Amino acid sequence: MDHLLPDIDLQIAAFLSGNCSTEEAEALMLWQNQSDENKKTFDLASKAWKNCLYQLSKAEIRNDKELVLRSILSQTTLELNRSKALSKLLRIAAFLAGPVLLAIGLYVGYTTKSNKVVAWNSVSAPRKHIAIFNMADGTEIWLNAGSTLSYPTEIQNNKREVKLVGEGYFKVTKDASKPFIVSTPNTTVRVLGTTFNMKAYPDEEKVTTTLEEGSIELTTTKSGNLPCKLRPGEQAICVVKENKITVNQVDASRFSAWRSEKFLFRDADLKTIITELERLYDIKIHINNPKLATLRFRGMFSYDQDLLDAFETLKRSVTMNYTIKGREVWLE
Amino acid sequence: MNADSELFQRISQGSEESFTEAFDQHYAPLCFYADKFIHDMDESRSLVQEVFVDLWTKRSKIHIKQSLKSYLFKSVRNISLDYIKHKNVESKYLKHSQHESESDDRDLIEEAELNACINRAVEELPEKCREIFLLCRFEDLTYKEIADRLNLSIKTIEMQMSIALKKLRLKLTDRQHIQLLVFLISKK
């Protein structure tokens, strides 16, 4: 191919971009008429030049892909007509990866103060999937697998109030005039605009609240505690039975890793892992060998993994056997 | 069954990996294709994104007769023409859209793929070389202006431009060889 003049590309480039003199342009025309090969070279170069229309960079393409994936996450595949009519506070624009439907329930409750009937909607993330909601005020809420969030169909007493059973990650839009309140049976969190993760499964003895950004105020439902203020990077663990709150410094992002449909554990004992697996797969796990229970693990499960994968992952780090019968599993 | 329809099969079964594979493969050419109708790259990009979101959310309802690729191009064409109609944009493609022949459309697709091919080749240029090439191609700067702006000699700009152009034209040569090969194979 390179029987060409060594600088022919230089001359073609100068010609195409208008950086050559008339004499140079004429010389180039002469050159390309000398052979078919030359003509072909020139034609290809000008074809490349002409068809370079707009530069779509790798970064832009990556960014666009991100947009598409995010939009898919927030696309609803649900028939929301019924709850849409009812819901003014929450606009669920929401859904997750996977063809599983959210369970949407509706029940009617009473507000204590006005005695007016206010309807509540509730939304649950199905097992093995997370759910994402956008509220009308821009607040984003992620629900972990099997968790439920309830919300009134209209704002009451100038408060944005929701109830959480399970685990949720909240990115609350600032609105000082309407505080955002997340209540669980045992705790209440008051928010002005912030990002935090809250874990309040009814079968666990504690409520764990981890603050990523902003500030929140945590109170226990039972009296006897002052409101506890959290700073970013702090985690409050409320042991329900003792009605006691302890605050620790943590790596906050670790506690919301479930949002990517992954269960991360670092130096966790088997009991913690088992609790998560039971919740994820709706099963009961028994540990036959008490020695196993004290072992500590690190690793990761993806929510779309098979239960067997999960046990195989565990088996890789420790010698153990498992027996599965129906929805029960024995480890030894 | 060819690779393309297998890809769609996996997407319709819910494989996110196959979905992103389809995106990586077709996104850029589809954007250039939409731009042929709309003449606005930013709008074209959002429309193509919409098509991909639909591909995923409606994947179980979509029946693909020919190939995923032709399905995507057809969808982008429809959404683009709708967009123009909606915007009341004067476009020669709108008037021709009803009786536009299939071969015209094939040409447009072919051109869009060519645009995307060159786009990729430009992205693959070394950083400095790409920067110079883009300044020259899209900002219509002369070699002298580019040299001044980047604090380089005109000689360097000439050299880098020749490197860029050579890489692009060799890329097209490879592409033609591949197309010829595909053509010959499909003839058999």
Span A164-187, pLDDT tens digits: 988 999 988 888 788 889 988 888
Residue B83 shares a structural domain with residue B16: yes
Residue A284 shares a structural domain with residue A177: no
Strands (E), chain A: 103-110, 117-124, 131-134, 140-143, 148-152, 160-171, 180-183, 187-191, 195-200, 206-213, 216-220, 228-230, 234-239, 244-249, 262-269, 284-287, 296-302, 322-325, 328-331
> Which CATH number covers residue A267?
3.55.50.30
In the 8-state DSSP scheme, what is residue B14? T
**Residue B162 in this model has a pLDDT that exceeds 90:** yes
What's the whole-number average pLDDT of chain A? 75
Residue B49 shares a structural domain with residue B102: yes
> Which CATH number covers residue B13?
1.10.1740.10
Residue B92 shares a structural domain with residue B180: no
Shortest CA distance from B141: residue in chain A: A17
**Residue B1 in this model has a pLDDT that exceeds 60:** no
Single out the residue in B81, B99, B123 at which a domain terminates.
Answer: B123
Single out the residue in A221, A254, A287 at which a domain terminates.
Answer: A254
Residue B89 shares a structural domain with residue B150: no
Type of residue numbered B88: N
Helix, coil or strand: residue A120:
strand
Structural domains in chain A (count) = 3
Residues 6+ apart with CB under 8 A from A323: A329, A330, A332
Q: What is the pLDDT of residue A73?
A: 67
Q: What is the pLDDT of residue B12?
A: 85
SS (H, E, C) A159-195: EEEEEEEEEEEEECCCCCCCCEEEECCCEEEEECCCE
Q: What is the pLDDT of residue B182?
A: 74
Single out the residue in B74, B98, B123 at which a domain terminates.
Answer: B123
> Which CATH number covers residue B135?
1.10.10.10
Residue A25 shares a structural domain with residue A131: no
B173 band by pLDDT with thresholds 50, 70 and 90? confident
Residue A55 lies in a domain: no
Mutating which of A38, A51, A72 best tests the B interface, going by the most B Cβ atoms within 10 A? Answer: A51
Residues 6+ apart with CB under 8 A from A31: A5, A8, A11, A38, A42
Residue B63 shares a structural domain with residue B77: yes
Helix, coil or strand: residue B91:
coil
Single out the residue in A230, A254, A278 at which a domain terminates.
Answer: A254
Residue B148 shares a structural domain with residue B101: no
B76 interfacial to chain A (CB closer than 8 Å): no
Residue B163 shares a structural domain with residue B94: no
Distances (CA, A) of B185 to B70, B171, B181: 20, 21, 6
Residue A160 shares a structural domain with residue A22: no
Span A94-150, pLDDT tens digits: 332 222 333 333 333 333 334 445 667 777 777 767 777 777 788 888 888 778 888
pLDDT-above-70 percentage for chain B: 89
Residue A309 shares a structural domain with residue A186: no
Shortest CA distance from A16: residue in chain B: B137
Torsion angle defined by CA atoms of residues B180, B181, B184 and B186, in that order, rounded to the nearest 10 degrees:
-110
Instruction: Give the C-alpha separation, A127 to A101, whole Å.
Output: 10
Residues 6+ apart with CB under 8 A from A273: A265, A297, A314
Q: What is the pLDDT of residue B88?
A: 65
CB contact under 8 A, B168 and A48: yes
Q: What is the pLDDT of residue B29?
A: 96
CB contact under 8 A, B123 and A58: yes
**Residue A87 in this model has a pLDDT that exceeds 90:** no
Residues 6+ apart with CB under 8 A from B164: A13, B122, B125, B129, B130, B132, B133
- Name the token pair of A83: 């709850």
Residue B130 shares a structural domain with residue B115: no
Residue B119 shares a structural domain with residue B131: no
Shortest CA distance from B23: residue in chain A: A65
**The domain containing residue A276 runs over which residues?**
261-331
Contact A146, A113 (CB under 8 A): no
**Which residues in chain A (43-102) have CB-CB distances under 8 A to chain B?**
44-45, 47-49, 51-58, 60-61, 64-65, 67-69, 71-72, 75, 77, 97-99
A246 DSSP β-pair partners: A237
A112 interfacial to chain B (CB closer than 8 Å): no
Span B107-157, pLDDT tens digits: 899 999 999 999 999 999 999 999 999 999 988 889 999 999 999 999 999
Residue A235 shares a structural domain with residue A113: yes
Say what the ipTM of the complex is. Answer: 0.88
What is the rounded average pLDDT of the residues A33-43? 92
Residue B96 shares a structural domain with residue B179: no
Residue B119 shares a structural domain with residue B133: no
Which member of A12, A60, A75 has the closest CB to residue B57?
A: A75
**The domain containing residue B138 runs over which residues?**
126-188
> Which CATH number covers residue A206?
2.60.120.1440
B107 interfacial to chain A (CB closer than 8 Å): no
Which member of B24, B119, B173 has the closest CB to residue A56?
A: B119
Residue A116 lies in a domain: yes
Torsion angle defined by CA atoms of residues A316, A317, A318 and A322, in that order, rounded to the nearest 10 degrees:
-40
Structural domains in chain B (count) = 2
Single out the residue in B73, B94, B123 at which a domain terminates.
Answer: B123
Residue A180 shares a structural domain with residue A73: yes
Residue A226 shares a structural domain with residue A268: no
Residue B62 shares a structural domain with residue B118: yes
